[in-house]
Amino acid sequence: MSTPLEHEGGASAATLDPVRSVDEVRLLVGAQEHDLATICAIRLLAGEGAADPSALDARVGLLNELAVLRYRARDLRAARACLREALELQPDHALTRDNLADLEAAAPSTAPAAPGAHSRQVGGPRNLNPWVREALDVLHGIVGLPGKRVLEIGGTIPPEAARDLGVASWTACDPSIADGRPDERYEMRRGRAEALPFEDASFDVVFSSCAFEHLPDLDGALAEARRVLVPGGAVFSQFAPIWSCAIGHHLWLEDPDHGRLGFNDPVVPHWAHLLLTADELRGFLARSIGPRAAGVAVNGIYRADNLNRLFDADFRRAFAGCGLRTALAQPWGDAFTPGPALNVALERTHPGRGRFDLGGYRVLLAKPG
């Protein structure tokens, strides 16, 4: 998308690490390393001496660069906040005034969807979430579901949907649900994936949708899945986004001022959770969603226990070492590719943790017969 806002200064293709100045941020922009330039600008603005009066011109320049970058990412709140902050610092700064005017003029035609509109929404009993329906369709095509005893980990598809699948039985197990049996073929059991409350060899299939990125003990969960499966049974999981991908921060925020914000909303810059400190990210988010909401968001990203923060390599290691045969392992979920310089920065910061361009996985793990 073209932008009416302008970056200050010229740029030629180059990558610099570490980035120490607004000029180096502009070089990254010129090299089309927009995600890395965004992260570097945030870090520079949060760094020591950022409020030094002698560095005022540089700070205003950084705020303009960051505003244009966030505009490109459709994060209009952050773009507007950066420009307003720059104007407070230098009310007569011509480029800032022009950029803010262009932003306000363009905003109605380029506004992002309402907060949460890109986040996955829960449907009615017979209208499963599209990614759950997709997972069930794929599983049915591979192993078939009619007549099978199925255990669902980390979710509860409705009894009506389970009956439509023609299964012999469907058992949903999750620590957040209460025990119940709506009918003779459907059961709900409170339990943790790493300590399943079932006998050995109780199920033909273990199914999980968008839960493996949340399980606190993936190795334990896979060991338990292997235990409760009959010989020749299978584990099928389709899940994303994992921690190492662009939106792996898994932002989920219910905020009275901004509504529901999810990881697909353009609030947290791509891969920022992997390269910024909590304080740096909190400072950036405070501009766009306010200090209180920023604190809640950052606490959820870095500290909440409903996300396991496993990298690509961690999942592959777990699958290879769980005692089940990997019959299928393919990328799944929204995928974003880091620029070459950003990929180097990610690999340097997180060595040996695998790829950063995979949103998640679709896997089928078979128990030997």
Backbone angles phi, psi at 129, to 5 degrees: -50, 140
The yes-or-no verdict on residue 14 having pLDDT over 60 is: no
- Summarised one tens digit per residue, pLDDT across range 190-241 is 999 999 999 999 999 999 999 999 999 999 999 999 999 999 999 999 999 9
HEC-encoded secondary structure of the chain: CCCCCCCCCCCCCCCCCCCCCHHHHHHHHHCCCHHHHHHHHHHHHHCCCCCCHHHHHHHHHHHHHHHHHHHHCCCHHHHHHHHHHHHHHCCCCHHHHHHHHHHHHHHHHHCCCCCCCCCCCCCCCCCCCHHHHHHHHHHHHHHCCCCCEEEEECCCCCHHHHHHCCCCEEEEEECCCCCEEEECCEEEEECECCECCCCCCCEEEEEEECCCCCCCCHHHHHHHHHHHEEEEEEEEEEECCCCCCCCCCCCEEEECCCEEEECCCCCCCCCHHHHCCHHHHHHHHHHHHCHHHHHHHHHHHHCCCCCCCCCHHHHHHHHHCCCCEEEEEEEECCCCCCCHHHHHHHHHHCCCCCCCCCCEEEEEEECCC
The yes-or-no verdict on residue 358 having pLDDT over 80 is: yes
What is residue 259's predicted lDDT score, i.e. its pLDDT? 76
CA–CA dist 264, 355 (Å, integer):
20
pLDDT band at 12 (very low <50, low <70, confident <90, very high): very low
Rounded (10°) CA dihedral 136, 141, 145, 150: -50
In angstroms, the Cα distances linking 244 to 15, 216, 220, 301, 332 are 22, 16, 21, 13, 14
What is residue 52's predicted lDDT score, i.e. its pLDDT? 57
User: Where do we find the tokens 């393919």?
Assistant: 330
CA–CA dist 254, 240 (Å, integer):
20
**Of 131 and 240, the one with more pLDDT:** 240
What is residue 205's predicted lDDT score, i.e. its pLDDT? 98
User: What is the average pLDDT across 146-151?
Assistant: 97
CA–CA dist 180, 153 (Å, integer):
16
User: What is the average pLDDT across 162-173?
Assistant: 94
The yes-or-no verdict on residue 307 having pLDDT over 90 is: yes
User: What is the average pLDDT across 132-137?
Assistant: 92
**Of 156 and 189, the one with more pLDDT:** 189
What is residue 251's predicted lDDT score, i.e. its pLDDT? 94
Longest dimension (CA), the chain: 75
CA–CA dist 335, 321 (Å, integer):
26
Among residues 254, 148, 252, 122, the alpha carbon closest in space to that of 204 is found at 148
Say how many C-beta atoms besides its own lie within 10 A of residue 176's C-beta.
Answer: 9
What is residue 53's predicted lDDT score, i.e. its pLDDT? 55
* Structural domains of the chain, with CATH: 22-110 (1.25.40), 118-369 (3.40.50.150)
Sign of CA dihedral 188, 190, 193, 195: negative
Angle, alpha carbons 56-62-65 (nearest 5°): 145
Q: What amino acid is encoded at 101 in this protein? A: A
What is residue 172's predicted lDDT score, i.e. its pLDDT? 95
- Summarised one tens digit per residue, pLDDT across range 256-299 is 776 788 888 999 999 999 999 999 999 999 999 999 999 999 99
What is residue 254's predicted lDDT score, i.e. its pLDDT? 83
Model's pTM, two decimal places? 0.88
Polymer length in residues for the chain: 369
Strand pairing class (229-239; 360-366): antiparallel
Q: What amino acid is encoded at 282 in this protein? A: R
Asked, as a colleague might, if the bond just before 241 is cis with ω within 30 of 0, I would say yes
Q: What percent of the chain has pLDDT over 70?
A: 87
What is residue 368's predicted lDDT score, i.e. its pLDDT? 95
CA–CA dist 327, 308 (Å, integer):
24
